[in-house]
Amino acid sequence: MFNRNSYHTPQQEVISLKPTAFRPGDRVVLPPYGIGVICGTCARPLGCETLTYYQIEFQHTSSRAFVPVQSSAPTGMRPALSPADLPTLLHALQNGELDLPRQWSVRHQRVTALLASGEPYELAAMIGQFHRWNLKRALPDLDRQAFRRGVKLLMQEVEGLTGKTAQTIQLFLERALLEPQSLN
């Protein structure tokens, strides 16, 4: 079972996803909006005090978000994956498994919470598991929708990263999206 704040590799090394201080230009993930870039900080009044906020812009939309600098962790904001994280992500895609309930309504609740969290290693494990299920038998509609949403979220995060592992992940995700169409 995966933990929201860490993923254990086969060697039981813990990779932390706890947020740190961010700087302008940092790529971050803000669930459920997806990947964005810190474009600076700004001060905004809130009641009797003025708070400092990270200003985040999202490349796939014209949306902008403001997250309090002093309390970014409760929002779920975290650093985007770096090239060093990709081998673990690839392992989760290829071999990860989640304990998903057989009953569709309970499974849908769990998968919806997972998608909302944006936790990359759990998303990768879910995608890998749904992909393997889909190769055996076509996914039910809600699972297929969750699968596609998860793939798109992970593609956004890997987009822009370079290297052989990044290319392998991107290829896996692109093929995973295409294969269900050839089966159904």
Tell me if 5 is assigned to some domain: no
Domain residues for 60? Answer: 20-76
Identify the CATH number of the domain in which residue 170 sits: 1.20.58.1290
Please tell me the distance from the alpha carbon of residue 80 to that of residue 63, in angstroms, as a whole number: 18
Q: Would you say residue 6 lies in a domain? A: no
- Does pLDDT of 15 surpass 80? no
pLDDT tens profile 25-35: 999 999 878 89
Q: Are 162 and 110 within one domain?
A: yes
Q: Which residues contact 161 (CB under 8 A, 6 or more apart)?
A: 81, 82, 83, 86
Q: Are residues 135 and 96 in the same domain?
A: yes
- Look at the chain and report how many structural domains it folds into: 2
Whether pTM > 0.85 for this model: the answer is no
